[in-house]
């Protein structure tokens, strides 16, 4: 066997590696040591020659190359190797006395042999055998496994013995100072279908890695990012050439992306520059952004519903994430059984979301047991992540689903240093009909813990145990930012909260942030296939129907149109309750004009919205119960990006009423609505 030792300016450190090699239990006649000194001359060849003179029984050679880099040196070493098998030892590492004997005893023409790993910090007397690499190897000690079963160890540069006839047919990429090992060994295994044989523990074959600061694998630089992208490009190519290993190669690409994420965590201003390079290299479509983001972020988003589930609040959160364009982790709850799934909606956040932590179980809007379980399991997931990658610096939660704010408050209570942003989509304590929502918070350590944090802020104890009253209180008392979607919502919620001692603080930390509108490119992602009759005025309405909101005005207006006018108009209603809505349409006898459809996937909706002549958005009719209308339909923000004309059915004094829309009619004013229909239909050529 040939042992290749690549060394760059290694005169002062190579002795340890050489000493461990000349002390091997393997007969010196069965192996050679090829030292490849690369880069500028520093006296390394002289050190090697002295070592050879002191150990004449060993075949030790030194080869010089002026081109620096471990990749080039490894290629030179492979070209110089004279034996049937080859292994690599870094110049600052060392190996156990039985390392070479253990590898060679288990060598075969069609396998790569792997030894155990130990991590050693120079200057210490301890060796860590608990690293992820060694744990994976020891799991298969004494076994022969495929590349896909042990890909992390298989793609590491050191600690393995390979048949020279295969090793010479693959070249290390000279462009790479890091990531070259993953690119090389992945190609070797996937091209030739080699298995990996792990030496049994009884062989005492151990490769000791020195964890030296400043080594190529531990230095982060912009060039480091480029090298990891080159390696990912190699893995993408191999995945196309060898589809049997696609999953394994994807996992290795994710590992490379984590290194880029660590770099971006320290250099967030370079994020767009890295995105541009990913696109330039043609890697965007399958790039493992999740792995990169998980190691780059210090922000957590708590969104009870989240894509791919089609939930209104979930999609608002996703739009905020997309437009913020910062890496985040997301903690969410499964919505299986109560929300439909649209996998394509994940495209909104694929470049931004890192780790997605999902709590499973039955979704709960108001039941305390389910909310408490979400908070408890959520904190467990957060603690595990923070133990691995460090504490989050900021947390954002959004409620219509109350559990999000409970977990957000718990995060704040346990880590007062974290910055918590709490957004309200609508009032929580009062429903759309002005009634007080009620649900009892049972005896709970979580409740007590959050109450204690509120008390530390000087906020009076909660006495009613009404979940919805408590939710508004804890957000107003603890959040560093409280976000409302419109000014009326803020005024209404602060006026009606029973926690009067939180109002002043909530005003100080609050801000108004309307629902976000996506840029035009999102409206071109997914053609809907839904056909509109170009001979008619096509009016679109997308939304939930409930007692205080709908298109009753339009249905009544259509009833008063002449037969000729009706032929020129089509109202397309997309709703979560198509059967109930069709019944309303049939009862109004306007089925010849109104087409009712179930909701369509989000990106199809965006694309379809660009083809309508008019899009209708309707206020909730709540002034008589609320005094002020605190609602602003989130669909308006989607409509704004479509380019279509927007028609608002508004309640006087609402936020929607104050906006500059293409047309507005007051709720209940059927004559005004009919006049708009007549005016628009008259422009259609018969």
- What is the 3-state secondary structure of 364-401? CCCCHHHHHHHHHHHHHHHHHHHHHHCCCCEEEEEECC
Alpha-carbon distance of 201 to 96, in angstroms, equals: 12
pLDDT value of residue 129? 84
Rounded to 5 degrees, φ, ψ at 602 are -60, -50
Tokens at 299, concatenated: 């922000």
**SS3 state of residue 15:** helix
Q: Are 484 and 512 in contact (CB under 8 A)?
A: yes
DSSP 8-state code for residue 460: P
The answer to whether the peptide bond before residue 269 is cis (omega within 30 degrees of 0) is no
What pLDDT does residue 217 have? 44
Provide the 8-state DSSP code for 531.
Answer: -
Distance CA 368, CA 471 (A): 12
Q: CB–CB of 440/368 below 8 Å?
A: yes
**Sign (positive or negative) of CA dihedral 356, 380, 301, 267:** negative
**Residues 174 and 75: beta-carbon distance below 8 Å:** yes
pLDDT reported for residue 530: 96
Q: Kindly report the backbone phi and psi dihedral angles of residue 201, in degrees, each rounded to the nearest multiple of 5, phi listed first.
A: -60, -30
d(CA 624, CA 434): 9
Helix pair angle (180-192, 246-266), 10° resolution: 170
Helix (H) or strand (E) holding 423: strand 419-424
Q: State the maximum Cα–Cα separation within the chain, in Å, rounded to a whole number.
A: 109
**Distance from C-alpha of 654 to C-alpha of 635, rounded to nearest angstrom:** 16
CA dihedral defined by 541, 543, 544, 546, rounded to 10 degrees? Answer: -50
The reported pLDDT for the residue numbered 680 is: 87
- Burial class, 524, CB count within 10 angstroms (exposed 0-12 / middle 13-18 / buried 19+): exposed
What pLDDT does residue 219 have?
56
| pLDDT one-digit tens code per residue, 488-533 | 999 999 999 999 999 999 999 999 999 999 999 999 999 999 999 9
Task: Specify the pairing of strand 111-114 against strand 160-163.
Answer: antiparallel
The residue assigned the tokens 């056909």 is: 531
Find all residues with CB under 8 Å of 640, minimum gap 6, and list them: 517, 646
What pLDDT, on the 0 to 100 scale, is given for residue 48?
Answer: 95
pTM exceeds 0.85: yes
Tokens representing 654 are 């609402």
Q: Which of 117, 146, 139 is nearest to 129 (CA)?
A: 117
User: What angle, 0 to 180 degrees and rounded to 10, lies between the N-to-C axes of helices 403-414 and 445-456?
Assistant: 60
Residue 550 to residue 633: CA distance in whole angstroms: 12
Give yes or no for a contact between 363 and 370, defined as CB atoms under 8 angstroms apart: yes
Q: Provide the 8-state DSSP code for 43.
A: S
Task: Show the tokens assigned to 143.
Answer: 């076994």
pLDDT at 595: 96
d(CA 96, CA 516): 60
Complete DSSP assignment for 156-212: SSSSEEEEHHHHTTS---TT-SSSHHHHHHHHHHHHHT-EEEEPPGGG--EEEEE--
Mean pLDDT for back-to-back runs of 10 residues, the chain (686 residues):
96 94 97 96 93 95 94 97 97 96 96 93 81 86 94 90 98 93 97 96 93 56 94 97 96 96 94 97 96 97 96 95 96 95 94 97 96 98 96 97 97 98 96 94 95 96 94 98 97 96 97 96 94 95 76 92 95 93 93 95 96 96 93 96 97 96 96 94 69
Residue for token pair 């071109």: 524
Angle 547-648-491 from CA coordinates, rounded to 5°: 70
Q: Describe the crossing of helices 222-241 and 180-192 by its angle, rounded to 10 degrees.
A: 10
d(C-alpha 435, C-alpha 421), whole Å: 27
Look at residue 681 in the predicted model and tell me its pLDDT: 83
């Amino acid at each position: 066997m040939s042992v290749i030792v690549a060394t760059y300016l290694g005169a002062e450190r190579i002795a340890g590696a050489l000493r461990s090699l000349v002390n091997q239990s393997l007969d010196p006649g069965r192996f050679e040591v090829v030292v490849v000194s690369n880069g500028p001359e520093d006296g390394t060849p002289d050190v090697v020659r002295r070592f050879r003179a002191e150990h004449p029984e060993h075949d030790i050679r030194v080869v010089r190359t002026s081109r620096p880099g471990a990749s080039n040196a490894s290629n030179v070493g492979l070209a110089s190797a004279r034996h049937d098998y080859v292994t690599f030892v870094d110049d600052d590492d060392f190996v156990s006395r039985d390392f070479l004997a253990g590898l060679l005893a288990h060598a075969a023409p069609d396998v790569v042999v792997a030894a155990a790993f130990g991590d050693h910090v120079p200057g210490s007397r301890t060796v860590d055998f608990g690293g992820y690499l060694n744990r994976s190897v020891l799991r298969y000690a004494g076994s022969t496994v495929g590349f896909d079963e042990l890909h992390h160890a298989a793609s590491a540069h050191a600690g393995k013995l390979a048949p020279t006839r295969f090793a010479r047919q693959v070249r290390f990429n000279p462009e790479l100072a890091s990531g070259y090992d993953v690119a090389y060994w992945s190609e070797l295994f996937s091209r030739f279908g080699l298995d990996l044989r792990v030496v049994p523990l009884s062989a005492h074959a151990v490769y000791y890695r020195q964890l030296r600061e400043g080594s190529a694998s531990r230095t982060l630089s912009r060039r480091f990012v480029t090298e990891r992208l080159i390696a990912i490009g190699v893995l993408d190519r191999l995945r196309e050439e060898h589809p049997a290993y696609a999953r394994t190669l994807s996992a290795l690409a994710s590992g490379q992306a984590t290194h880029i994420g660590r770099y971006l965590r320290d250099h967030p201003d370079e994020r767009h520059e890295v995105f541009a390079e990913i696109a330039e290299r043609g890697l965007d479509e399958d790039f493992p952004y999740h792995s990169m983001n998980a190691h780059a972020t210090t922000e957590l988003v708590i969104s009870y519903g989240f894509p791919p589930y089609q939930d209104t609040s979930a999609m608002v959160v996703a739009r905020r994430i997309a437009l913020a364009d910062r890496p985040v982790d997301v903690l969410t709850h499964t919505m299986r059984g109560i929300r439909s799934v649209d996998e394509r909606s994940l495209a909104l956040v694929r470049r931004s979301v890192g780790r997605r932590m999902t709590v499973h179980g039955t979704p709960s809007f108001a039941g305390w047991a389910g909310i408490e379980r979400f908070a408890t399991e959520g904190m467990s997931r957060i603690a595990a992540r923070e133990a691995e990658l460090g504490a989050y610096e900021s947390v954002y939660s959004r409620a219509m689903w109350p559990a999000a704010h409970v977990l957000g408050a718990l995060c704040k209570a346990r880590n007062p240093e974290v910055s918590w942003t709490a957004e309200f989509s609508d009032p929580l304590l009062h429903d759309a009909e002005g009634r007080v929502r009620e649900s009892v918070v049972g005896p709970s350590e979580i409740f007590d813990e959050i109450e204690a944090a509120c008390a530390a802020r000087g906020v009076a104890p909660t006495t009613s145990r009404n979940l919805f009253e408590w939710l508004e209180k804890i957000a107003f008392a603890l959040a560093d930012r409280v976000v409302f979607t419109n000014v009326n919502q803020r005024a209404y919620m602060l006026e009606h909260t029973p926690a009067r001692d939180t109002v002043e603080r909530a005003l100080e930390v609050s801000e108004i942030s309307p629902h976000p509108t996506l840029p035009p490119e999102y409206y071109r992602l997914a053609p809907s296939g839904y056909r509109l009759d170009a001979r008619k005025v096509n009016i679109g309405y997308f939304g939930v129907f409930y007692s205080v909101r709908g298109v009753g005005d339009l249905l009544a207006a259509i009833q008063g149109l002449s037969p000729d006018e009706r032929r020129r108009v089509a109202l397309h209603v997309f709703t979560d309750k198509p059967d109930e809505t069709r019944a309303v349409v049939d009862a109004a006898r306007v089925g010849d004009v109104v087409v009712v459809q179930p909701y369509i996937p989000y990106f199809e909706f965006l694309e379809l919205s660009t083809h309508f002549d008019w899009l209708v958005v309707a206020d909730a009719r709540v002034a008589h119960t609320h005094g002020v209308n605190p609602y602003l339909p989130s669909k308006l923000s989607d409509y704004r990006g479509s380019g279509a004309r927007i028609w608002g059915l508004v309640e006087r004094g609402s936020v929607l009423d104050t906006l500059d829309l293409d047309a507005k009619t007051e709720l209940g004013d059927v004559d005004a609505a009919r006049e708009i229909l007549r005016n628009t239909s008259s422009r259609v050529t018969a």
